[in-house]
Structure formats: C-alpha cells, structure tokens
Amino acid sequence: MTTAEELYERYPEVLYHGDLRDVPVGWLGIVGQYFEVVSPLMTDTGYEVVTASECAGGLDWTWTSPLSAMTEERHQVMDREDILLTLRSYHTCRECGRPGSGWASGRTILTACGEHGVGERILDRKPLMRRTPYGVVHYDAAADKLVVVNPEDV
Ligand SMILES: [Zn+2]
C-alpha cells in the first residue's frame, strides 16, 4: 500500500510533510492517483493542501493556490480531479484501499470493505452526485470516471 512518506517524497512540489496526517491509510492510494495528474499540472503554482481529512465516510479535500496561477485548463482539470478524489473515497476502504461501501455504527459512517466494515452496511446509499461547471456528474466506480447525468433524473 502507498504510504504518506512515499507521497511526500514523490510530490515535494505540492505536498508538505504533515499534509496527509489525517488521511486514513487506505485512501493514500487514491491520493497518489490524484497527484499523478495534479502534481505536474500545479507545480510552481503555489498549490497547498488546506484540508485533508475524513468526514462522514468521504475525504474532505481542499487546497489553495494564488489565483493568477489558475488558467482555464487548470481550472477544468482540477474541478474534475477534486471531484474524482472525493467520490473515489466513498468507494474505497479506509483501512486497506480495496473497494468499499458505507458502514454505519451508531452515528459514525465509515467507508470500508467487507472485512473492515464495522456496524451495518448501508445498502441503499444513493449514487453520489456533484454539480460542476459542465453539468451534474456521478461517479462510475467500475469505470473509475465521472459521468454527466441528465438534470431531470437528479
Ligand atoms: Zn478493507
């Protein structure tokens, strides 16, 4: 599995030591996938992670960069990669990185695989949608991509 140390070493332009301290270890793989795309694009833009933590079964991820660095192309790619990262987290076990789903234990909701899930599996979880500048999208976990959906169906 990917470790935080590996990511700090691989992406020194966009990551500071400690940025990933609150990210569950099972999600470091999807963070690595994200930086494969984001790091070359955002090098020298002052990209800095602001929030990287677990919230209600998903990865809450925000960043900042001086506005002047943001071109139209960067905006488009970052919009997509940010959404992909968050939606992937809802489908990835926080412990081991294998495919996961939501589990409810008391008031806590965590995303985990069958082996690491605690409590009751959430069976009727609605597909997660996100509003973007190019329409409403949902995440196709099998294809690992965003699919634009008809707003009438939302
Ligand atoms: Zn697991």
Of all residues in the chain, what percent carry a pLDDT higher than 70?
Answer: 97
Task: Take residue 150 and report the two structure tokens written for it.
Answer: 């008809």
Domain span holding position 112: 4-153
- Angle formed at CA 85 by CA 80 and CA 90, multiple of 5 degrees: 125
User: How far, in Å, is the centroid of ligand 1 from the Cα of 14?
Assistant: 28
User: How far, in Å, is the centroid of ligand 1 from the Cα of 101?
Assistant: 10
User: For the residues 63-91, what does the mean pLDDT come to?
Assistant: 91
User: How far, in Å, is the centroid of ligand 1 from the Cα of 112?
Assistant: 5
User: How far, in Å, is the centroid of ligand 1 from the Cα of 39?
Assistant: 27
User: For the residues 76-96, what does the mean pLDDT come to?
Assistant: 95
Neighbours of 15 (CB within 10 A): 21
Q: Tell me what pLDDT residue 55 has.
A: 95
Q: Could you report the per-residue pLDDT of 26-75, keeping only the tens digit for each? A: 999 999 999 999 999 999 899 999 999 999 999 999 999 986 788 889 99
User: How far, in Å, is the centroid of ligand 1 from the Cα of 99?
Assistant: 8
Count of structural domains, the chain? 1
User: How far, in Å, is the centroid of ligand 1 from the Cα of 45?
Assistant: 35
Asked whether residue 151 carries a pLDDT value surpassing 90, the answer given is no
User: How far, in Å, is the centroid of ligand 1 from the Cα of 110?
Assistant: 11
